[in-house]
Amino acid sequence: MTMLGEQRSIGRRAILSQIRKVGPLPRIELSEQTGISRATVTTITAELLDHGLIEEIPVEPKSKDLKRGRPKVDLKIRGDIFHVAGIKLANKSISIGICDFEGNLVSEYWSALPQTIYDEGELLATLTAELENATRATNLTLADLSAVGLGLAGIVDVVEGVVRWSPSLTTRNVKLRDALSQRLGKPVFIDNDANLVAKAEQYFGRGKNVSDFIVVTIENGVGMGIVLNNQLYRGTRGCGAEFGHTKVHLDGALCRCGQRGCLEAYVADYALLRELAVGTDMVGSADPAEDMAALIEAAKAGDKTANSVLDRAARMFAMGLANLVNIFDPKLIILSGERMQLDFLFADDVLASIRDIVVQVDAPPPEIIVHKWGDMMWATGAAAYAIEGLGELTLRELADNVA
Protein backbone atom coordinates (compact mmCIF):
# COMPACT_ATOMS: atom_id res chain seq x y z
CA MET A 1 0.00 0.00 0.00
CA THR A 2 1.32 3.46 -0.89
CA MET A 3 1.82 6.15 1.73
CA LEU A 4 -1.23 7.98 0.36
CA GLY A 5 -3.25 4.78 0.56
CA GLU A 6 -2.12 4.19 4.15
CA GLN A 7 -3.08 7.74 5.11
CA ARG A 8 -6.47 7.28 3.48
CA SER A 9 -7.00 4.03 5.44
CA ILE A 10 -6.13 5.78 8.70
CA GLY A 11 -8.55 8.54 7.78
CA ARG A 12 -11.36 6.06 7.12
CA ARG A 13 -10.84 4.44 10.51
CA ALA A 14 -10.77 7.80 12.28
CA ILE A 15 -13.90 9.06 10.55
CA LEU A 16 -15.92 5.88 11.02
CA SER A 17 -14.85 5.74 14.68
CA GLN A 18 -15.82 9.37 15.29
CA ILE A 19 -19.22 8.93 13.64
CA ARG A 20 -19.82 5.89 15.84
CA LYS A 21 -18.66 7.73 18.96
CA VAL A 22 -20.38 11.09 18.47
CA GLY A 23 -22.80 10.84 15.56
CA PRO A 24 -25.04 11.79 14.01
CA LEU A 25 -23.00 14.83 12.97
CA PRO A 26 -22.41 16.94 9.85
CA ARG A 27 -19.30 16.74 7.69
CA ILE A 28 -17.97 20.09 8.85
CA GLU A 29 -17.97 19.00 12.51
CA LEU A 30 -16.46 15.68 11.52
CA SER A 31 -13.57 17.57 9.95
CA GLU A 32 -13.13 19.77 13.01
CA GLN A 33 -13.22 16.87 15.48
CA THR A 34 -10.83 14.59 13.56
CA GLY A 35 -8.47 17.25 12.20
CA ILE A 36 -8.97 15.84 8.69
CA SER A 37 -9.46 18.38 5.91
CA ARG A 38 -12.98 19.02 4.67
CA ALA A 39 -12.09 17.84 1.17
CA THR A 40 -10.75 14.53 2.49
CA VAL A 41 -13.76 14.12 4.78
CA THR A 42 -16.02 14.60 1.77
CA THR A 43 -14.12 12.00 -0.25
CA ILE A 44 -13.96 9.42 2.54
CA THR A 45 -17.58 9.79 3.62
CA ALA A 46 -18.63 9.33 -0.01
CA GLU A 47 -16.73 6.02 0.00
CA LEU A 48 -18.33 4.96 3.28
CA LEU A 49 -21.77 5.88 1.95
CA ASP A 50 -21.21 3.91 -1.24
CA HIS A 51 -20.06 0.92 0.81
CA GLY A 52 -23.17 1.15 3.01
CA LEU A 53 -21.32 1.66 6.31
CA ILE A 54 -22.89 5.05 7.01
CA GLU A 55 -26.00 6.88 5.94
CA GLU A 56 -27.32 10.42 5.69
CA ILE A 57 -30.24 11.58 7.80
CA PRO A 58 -32.05 14.87 7.22
CA VAL A 59 -31.69 17.67 9.76
CA GLU A 60 -34.72 19.80 10.50
CA PRO A 61 -33.83 23.48 10.01
CA LYS A 62 -33.93 25.61 13.13
CA SER A 63 -35.57 28.46 11.25
CA LYS A 64 -37.97 28.65 8.34
CA ASP A 65 -35.52 31.02 6.65
CA LEU A 66 -32.99 28.22 6.47
CA LYS A 67 -35.21 25.99 4.35
CA ARG A 68 -33.86 27.57 1.17
CA GLY A 69 -30.98 25.88 -0.61
CA ARG A 70 -29.56 22.39 -0.19
CA PRO A 71 -31.13 20.38 2.68
CA LYS A 72 -28.80 19.79 5.62
CA VAL A 73 -27.87 16.23 6.53
CA ASP A 74 -25.98 14.49 9.31
CA LEU A 75 -23.99 11.29 9.04
CA LYS A 76 -24.61 8.22 11.20
CA ILE A 77 -23.67 4.54 11.24
CA ARG A 78 -26.02 2.45 9.12
CA GLY A 79 -27.36 -0.11 11.55
CA ASP A 80 -29.17 -2.53 9.27
CA ILE A 81 -26.20 -3.40 7.06
CA PHE A 82 -24.91 -6.03 9.51
CA HIS A 83 -26.06 -8.12 12.45
CA VAL A 84 -23.56 -9.50 14.96
CA ALA A 85 -23.86 -11.77 17.99
CA GLY A 86 -22.05 -11.32 21.27
CA ILE A 87 -21.66 -14.37 23.51
CA LYS A 88 -20.82 -14.52 27.19
CA LEU A 89 -19.91 -18.00 28.37
CA ALA A 90 -20.44 -18.10 32.13
CA ASN A 91 -19.95 -20.85 34.68
CA LYS A 92 -23.35 -22.51 34.24
CA SER A 93 -25.09 -20.34 31.66
CA ILE A 94 -24.71 -18.59 28.33
CA SER A 95 -25.93 -15.13 27.35
CA ILE A 96 -26.21 -13.95 23.74
CA GLY A 97 -26.96 -10.44 22.56
CA ILE A 98 -27.67 -9.75 18.89
CA CYS A 99 -26.92 -6.20 17.78
CA ASP A 100 -27.04 -4.26 14.55
CA PHE A 101 -23.96 -2.49 13.20
CA GLU A 102 -24.90 0.69 15.05
CA GLY A 103 -24.75 -1.18 18.36
CA ASN A 104 -28.49 -1.32 19.01
CA LEU A 105 -29.49 -4.44 20.91
CA VAL A 106 -31.93 -6.34 18.71
CA SER A 107 -32.54 -9.32 20.98
CA GLU A 108 -31.42 -11.01 24.19
CA TYR A 109 -31.06 -14.73 24.83
CA TRP A 110 -30.11 -16.64 27.97
CA SER A 111 -29.88 -20.35 28.66
CA ALA A 112 -28.69 -22.55 31.51
CA LEU A 113 -25.91 -24.99 30.64
CA PRO A 114 -25.70 -28.61 31.84
CA GLN A 115 -21.96 -28.49 32.56
CA THR A 116 -19.20 -26.05 33.43
CA ILE A 117 -16.12 -27.59 31.77
CA TYR A 118 -15.85 -28.70 28.13
CA ASP A 119 -13.39 -30.21 25.75
CA GLU A 120 -12.94 -28.29 22.50
CA GLY A 121 -15.44 -30.31 20.49
CA GLU A 122 -18.13 -30.09 23.16
CA LEU A 123 -17.70 -26.32 23.47
CA LEU A 124 -17.88 -25.76 19.71
CA ALA A 125 -21.07 -27.82 19.51
CA THR A 126 -22.62 -25.99 22.47
CA LEU A 127 -21.81 -22.53 21.13
CA THR A 128 -23.20 -23.39 17.70
CA ALA A 129 -26.42 -24.86 19.09
CA GLU A 130 -27.02 -21.90 21.41
CA LEU A 131 -26.36 -19.42 18.58
CA GLU A 132 -28.93 -21.23 16.46
CA ASN A 133 -31.44 -20.99 19.30
CA ALA A 134 -30.72 -17.27 19.82
CA THR A 135 -31.08 -16.36 16.15
CA ARG A 136 -34.21 -18.49 15.76
CA ALA A 137 -35.84 -16.58 18.62
CA THR A 138 -35.21 -13.36 16.66
CA ASN A 139 -36.52 -14.71 13.34
CA LEU A 140 -32.95 -14.77 12.01
CA THR A 141 -30.61 -17.57 11.03
CA LEU A 142 -26.90 -18.09 11.52
CA ALA A 143 -26.45 -16.97 7.92
CA ASP A 144 -27.88 -13.56 8.84
CA LEU A 145 -24.99 -12.93 11.24
CA SER A 146 -21.92 -11.22 9.82
CA ALA A 147 -19.64 -11.80 12.81
CA VAL A 148 -19.56 -13.27 16.31
CA GLY A 149 -17.83 -12.02 19.45
CA LEU A 150 -17.11 -14.40 22.34
CA GLY A 151 -16.06 -13.63 25.89
CA LEU A 152 -14.97 -16.28 28.37
CA ALA A 153 -12.98 -16.39 31.57
CA GLY A 154 -9.27 -17.10 31.36
CA ILE A 155 -6.17 -15.98 29.50
CA VAL A 156 -6.85 -15.26 25.84
CA ASP A 157 -4.31 -14.38 23.16
CA VAL A 158 -6.48 -12.20 20.91
CA VAL A 159 -3.83 -11.86 18.19
CA GLU A 160 -3.48 -15.62 17.73
CA GLY A 161 -7.06 -16.39 18.72
CA VAL A 162 -5.86 -18.91 21.29
CA VAL A 163 -7.31 -19.56 24.73
CA ARG A 164 -4.15 -20.16 26.74
CA TRP A 165 -6.11 -21.21 29.82
CA SER A 166 -9.76 -21.09 30.83
CA PRO A 167 -11.75 -22.70 33.67
CA SER A 168 -14.31 -23.57 30.98
CA LEU A 169 -11.91 -25.77 28.98
CA THR A 170 -10.29 -29.08 29.84
CA THR A 171 -7.10 -28.29 27.92
CA ARG A 172 -4.78 -25.32 27.42
CA ASN A 173 -3.79 -23.48 24.23
CA VAL A 174 -7.03 -24.11 22.35
CA LYS A 175 -7.23 -22.39 18.94
CA LEU A 176 -10.84 -21.53 19.61
CA ARG A 177 -11.22 -18.49 17.33
CA ASP A 178 -10.26 -20.25 14.12
CA ALA A 179 -12.09 -23.46 15.03
CA LEU A 180 -15.34 -21.59 15.75
CA SER A 181 -14.93 -19.36 12.70
CA GLN A 182 -14.50 -22.40 10.47
CA ARG A 183 -17.52 -24.08 12.01
CA LEU A 184 -19.76 -21.01 11.64
CA GLY A 185 -18.36 -19.77 8.32
CA LYS A 186 -17.94 -16.20 9.53
CA PRO A 187 -15.41 -14.03 11.39
CA VAL A 188 -15.11 -14.70 15.13
CA PHE A 189 -13.46 -12.44 17.69
CA ILE A 190 -12.64 -13.79 21.15
CA ASP A 191 -11.33 -12.13 24.29
CA ASN A 192 -11.24 -12.41 28.05
CA ASP A 193 -14.74 -11.67 29.34
CA ALA A 194 -13.62 -8.89 31.69
CA ASN A 195 -12.03 -7.06 28.75
CA LEU A 196 -15.39 -7.18 27.02
CA VAL A 197 -17.11 -5.71 30.07
CA ALA A 198 -14.68 -2.80 29.73
CA LYS A 199 -15.65 -2.63 26.07
CA ALA A 200 -19.33 -2.53 27.04
CA GLU A 201 -18.66 0.23 29.57
CA GLN A 202 -16.72 2.15 26.92
CA TYR A 203 -19.48 1.83 24.32
CA PHE A 204 -22.64 1.94 26.40
CA GLY A 205 -21.86 2.49 30.08
CA ARG A 206 -20.05 4.63 32.63
CA GLY A 207 -16.76 4.62 30.71
CA LYS A 208 -18.20 6.40 27.70
CA ASN A 209 -16.12 9.48 26.89
CA VAL A 210 -13.61 8.59 29.66
CA SER A 211 -10.13 8.13 28.19
CA ASP A 212 -8.58 6.16 31.08
CA PHE A 213 -10.50 3.82 33.36
CA ILE A 214 -10.37 0.36 34.90
CA VAL A 215 -13.22 -2.14 35.22
CA VAL A 216 -13.09 -4.79 37.94
CA THR A 217 -15.54 -7.66 37.60
CA ILE A 218 -16.52 -10.25 40.16
CA GLU A 219 -18.25 -13.46 39.20
CA ASN A 220 -16.94 -16.89 40.04
CA GLY A 221 -13.55 -15.26 39.62
CA VAL A 222 -12.11 -11.75 39.63
CA GLY A 223 -11.40 -10.04 36.31
CA MET A 224 -10.20 -6.67 35.10
CA GLY A 225 -10.33 -4.61 31.91
CA ILE A 226 -8.03 -1.64 31.41
CA VAL A 227 -8.71 1.24 29.01
CA LEU A 228 -5.76 3.59 28.48
CA ASN A 229 -6.01 6.52 26.09
CA ASN A 230 -9.32 5.10 24.81
CA GLN A 231 -7.69 1.77 23.93
CA LEU A 232 -8.16 -1.60 25.62
CA TYR A 233 -4.86 -2.76 27.11
CA ARG A 234 -4.16 -6.50 26.94
CA GLY A 235 -0.39 -6.91 27.34
CA THR A 236 1.95 -8.71 24.98
CA ARG A 237 0.71 -12.22 25.93
CA GLY A 238 -2.95 -11.40 26.40
CA CYS A 239 -2.68 -11.63 30.18
CA GLY A 240 -1.88 -8.04 31.06
CA ALA A 241 -5.00 -7.45 33.14
CA GLU A 242 -5.31 -10.59 35.28
CA PHE A 243 -6.21 -8.74 38.47
CA GLY A 244 -7.62 -11.89 40.05
CA HIS A 245 -4.24 -13.56 39.72
CA THR A 246 -2.14 -10.80 41.25
CA LYS A 247 -0.50 -12.09 44.40
CA VAL A 248 -1.70 -10.87 47.79
CA HIS A 249 -0.18 -13.58 49.99
CA LEU A 250 3.14 -15.40 49.56
CA ASP A 251 2.50 -19.18 49.38
CA GLY A 252 -1.10 -18.45 50.28
CA ALA A 253 -4.40 -20.11 49.40
CA LEU A 254 -4.60 -22.33 46.31
CA CYS A 255 -6.18 -20.68 43.27
CA ARG A 256 -8.01 -22.57 40.53
CA CYS A 257 -5.28 -21.41 38.09
CA GLY A 258 -2.91 -23.75 39.95
CA GLN A 259 -0.86 -21.10 41.76
CA ARG A 260 -1.03 -19.88 45.34
CA GLY A 261 -1.75 -16.52 46.91
CA CYS A 262 -3.88 -15.05 44.10
CA LEU A 263 -6.47 -12.42 45.00
CA GLU A 264 -9.16 -14.62 43.48
CA ALA A 265 -8.29 -17.37 45.94
CA TYR A 266 -9.56 -15.08 48.72
CA VAL A 267 -12.61 -13.32 47.24
CA ALA A 268 -14.19 -15.66 44.65
CA ASP A 269 -17.20 -17.81 45.52
CA TYR A 270 -15.24 -21.04 45.66
CA ALA A 271 -12.66 -19.42 47.94
CA LEU A 272 -15.28 -18.14 50.39
CA LEU A 273 -17.05 -21.49 50.52
CA ARG A 274 -13.77 -23.33 50.95
CA GLU A 275 -12.90 -21.07 53.88
CA LEU A 276 -16.33 -21.55 55.41
CA ALA A 277 -16.08 -25.34 55.10
CA VAL A 278 -13.19 -25.42 57.57
CA GLY A 279 -14.72 -26.26 60.93
CA THR A 280 -18.37 -25.66 60.01
CA ASP A 281 -21.25 -27.62 58.48
CA MET A 282 -22.79 -24.52 56.91
CA VAL A 283 -21.63 -25.58 53.41
CA GLY A 284 -22.87 -28.76 51.83
CA SER A 285 -25.67 -28.31 49.30
CA ALA A 286 -25.26 -29.41 45.69
CA ASP A 287 -25.61 -25.81 44.50
CA PRO A 288 -22.77 -23.35 45.31
CA ALA A 289 -25.20 -20.45 44.76
CA GLU A 290 -27.36 -21.77 47.60
CA ASP A 291 -24.30 -22.07 49.84
CA MET A 292 -23.29 -18.49 49.01
CA ALA A 293 -26.77 -17.27 49.85
CA ALA A 294 -26.60 -19.16 53.15
CA LEU A 295 -23.23 -17.57 53.89
CA ILE A 296 -24.56 -14.07 53.27
CA GLU A 297 -27.66 -14.67 55.37
CA ALA A 298 -25.59 -16.12 58.21
CA ALA A 299 -23.35 -13.06 58.20
CA LYS A 300 -26.35 -10.74 58.28
CA ALA A 301 -27.72 -12.76 61.23
CA GLY A 302 -24.48 -12.14 63.13
CA ASP A 303 -22.72 -15.48 62.73
CA LYS A 304 -19.07 -14.87 63.72
CA THR A 305 -17.56 -17.41 61.35
CA ALA A 306 -19.49 -16.11 58.35
CA ASN A 307 -18.59 -12.52 59.19
CA SER A 308 -14.95 -13.48 59.59
CA VAL A 309 -14.90 -15.04 56.11
CA LEU A 310 -16.51 -12.02 54.47
CA ASP A 311 -14.40 -9.53 56.42
CA ARG A 312 -11.15 -11.10 55.26
CA ALA A 313 -12.36 -11.17 51.65
CA ALA A 314 -13.31 -7.48 51.85
CA ARG A 315 -9.91 -6.51 53.27
CA MET A 316 -8.10 -8.49 50.58
CA PHE A 317 -10.26 -6.86 47.90
CA ALA A 318 -9.56 -3.37 49.27
CA MET A 319 -5.83 -4.10 49.25
CA GLY A 320 -6.06 -5.24 45.63
CA LEU A 321 -7.92 -2.08 44.58
CA ALA A 322 -5.38 0.08 46.41
CA ASN A 323 -2.63 -1.63 44.43
CA LEU A 324 -4.43 -0.73 41.21
CA VAL A 325 -4.62 2.90 42.27
CA ASN A 326 -0.93 2.97 43.18
CA ILE A 327 0.12 1.38 39.86
CA PHE A 328 -2.20 3.06 37.35
CA ASP A 329 -3.61 6.17 39.07
CA PRO A 330 -6.71 5.95 36.83
CA LYS A 331 -9.37 8.62 36.62
CA LEU A 332 -12.12 6.10 37.28
CA ILE A 333 -12.50 2.55 38.63
CA ILE A 334 -15.78 0.78 37.82
CA LEU A 335 -16.80 -2.20 39.93
CA SER A 336 -19.06 -4.03 37.55
CA GLY A 337 -21.25 -7.13 37.51
CA GLU A 338 -24.52 -8.55 38.67
CA ARG A 339 -23.38 -10.41 41.78
CA MET A 340 -25.73 -8.73 44.23
CA GLN A 341 -24.76 -11.10 47.03
CA LEU A 342 -21.23 -9.67 47.00
CA ASP A 343 -22.34 -6.23 48.20
CA PHE A 344 -20.06 -6.68 51.21
CA LEU A 345 -17.10 -6.07 48.87
CA PHE A 346 -18.62 -2.77 47.74
CA ALA A 347 -19.56 -1.52 51.22
CA ASP A 348 -18.81 2.13 51.95
CA ASP A 349 -16.35 1.28 54.71
CA VAL A 350 -14.43 -1.05 52.39
CA LEU A 351 -14.13 1.59 49.67
CA ALA A 352 -13.26 4.24 52.25
CA SER A 353 -10.43 2.07 53.62
CA ILE A 354 -8.73 2.20 50.22
CA ARG A 355 -7.99 5.88 50.74
CA ASP A 356 -5.85 5.00 53.78
CA ILE A 357 -3.58 2.57 51.91
CA VAL A 358 -2.89 4.40 48.63
CA VAL A 359 -0.05 6.82 48.00
CA GLN A 360 -1.07 10.11 49.55
CA VAL A 361 -0.84 13.21 47.32
CA ASP A 362 -2.51 16.61 47.43
CA ALA A 363 -5.22 15.56 45.01
CA PRO A 364 -8.43 13.56 45.33
CA PRO A 365 -8.12 9.79 44.74
CA PRO A 366 -9.68 8.15 41.67
CA GLU A 367 -13.44 7.88 41.68
CA ILE A 368 -14.71 4.36 42.44
CA ILE A 369 -18.24 3.58 41.35
CA VAL A 370 -20.39 0.46 41.36
CA HIS A 371 -22.25 -0.40 38.16
CA LYS A 372 -24.38 -3.50 38.68
CA TRP A 373 -25.31 -4.64 35.21
CA GLY A 374 -26.74 -8.04 34.39
CA ASP A 375 -25.24 -10.85 32.32
CA MET A 376 -26.29 -9.14 29.08
CA MET A 377 -23.64 -6.50 29.75
CA TRP A 378 -20.97 -9.11 29.04
CA ALA A 379 -22.71 -10.21 25.84
CA THR A 380 -23.16 -6.67 24.53
CA GLY A 381 -19.46 -6.07 25.18
CA ALA A 382 -18.68 -9.13 23.05
CA ALA A 383 -21.02 -7.76 20.37
CA ALA A 384 -19.27 -4.37 20.48
CA TYR A 385 -15.95 -6.17 20.04
CA ALA A 386 -17.35 -8.02 17.01
CA ILE A 387 -18.64 -4.74 15.57
CA GLU A 388 -15.17 -3.23 15.86
CA GLY A 389 -13.54 -6.25 14.25
CA LEU A 390 -16.12 -6.43 11.47
CA GLY A 391 -15.71 -2.72 10.79
CA GLU A 392 -11.95 -3.17 10.46
CA LEU A 393 -12.37 -6.10 8.05
CA THR A 394 -14.84 -4.12 5.97
CA LEU A 395 -12.54 -1.09 5.81
CA ARG A 396 -9.71 -3.36 4.60
CA GLU A 397 -11.95 -4.67 1.84
CA LEU A 398 -12.86 -1.11 0.94
CA ALA A 399 -9.18 -0.14 0.79
CA ASP A 400 -8.40 -3.12 -1.47
CA ASN A 401 -11.26 -2.18 -3.81
CA VAL A 402 -10.25 1.48 -4.02
CA ALA A 403 -6.51 0.79 -4.43
Burial 39-67 (b: 16+ CB within 10 A, else e): eebeebbebbeebebbbbeeeeeeeeeee
Spatial neighbors of 83 by CB under 8 A, at least 6 apart, are: 98, 99, 100, 101, 106, 140, 144, 145, 146
Q: What is the pLDDT of residues 123-173, one digit of tens each?
A: 999 999 999 999 998 889 999 999 999 999 888 999 899 999 999 999 999
* Residue 73 pLDDT: 93
* Residue 14 pLDDT: 94
Query: Band of the pLDDT at 95, cuts 50, 70, 90?
Result: very high
Query: Band of the pLDDT at 340, cuts 50, 70, 90?
Result: very low
Lowest mean pLDDT among 171-175, 235-239, 347-351: 235-239
Does pLDDT of 182 surpass 70? Answer: yes
Does pLDDT of 68 surpass 50? Answer: yes
Q: Are 379 and 134 in contact (CB under 8 A)?
A: no
Q: Are 96 and 87 in contact (CB under 8 A)?
A: yes
- State the angle between helix axes of 176-184 and 120-136 in degrees (0 to 180), rounded to the nearest 10: 40
Burial 107-136 (b: 16+ CB within 10 A, else e): bbbbeeeeeeebebeebbebbeebbeebbe
Lowest mean pLDDT among 183-187, 257-261, 292-296, 307-311: 292-296
Does pLDDT of 55 surpass 50? Answer: yes
Q: Are 134 and 141 in contact (CB under 8 A)?
A: no
Q: What is the pLDDT of residues 361-371, one digit of tens each?
A: 766 778 888 88
Query: Band of the pLDDT at 236, cuts 50, 70, 90?
Result: confident
* Residue 285 pLDDT: 62
* Amino acid, res. 203: Y
DSSP 165: E
Query: Band of the pLDDT at 62, cuts 50, 70, 90?
Result: low
Q: Are 97 and 108 in contact (CB under 8 A)?
A: yes
Q: What is the mean pLDDT of residues 330-355?
A: 74
* Residue 237 pLDDT: 66
Does pLDDT of 205 surpass 90? Answer: no
Q: What is the mean pLDDT of residues 1-29?
A: 87
* Residue 240 pLDDT: 66
- pTM for this prediction: 0.84
Please tell me which residue, 237 or 190, carries the higher pLDDT value. 190
Mean pLDDT (the chain) is: 87
Query: How do beta strands 147-152 and 188-192 pair?
Result: parallel
Q: What is the pLDDT of residues 245-281, one digit of tens each?
A: 889 888 899 998 889 999 999 988 888 888 888 756 6
Share of the chain above pLDDT 70, in %: 91
Query: Band of the pLDDT at 30, cuts 50, 70, 90?
Result: very high
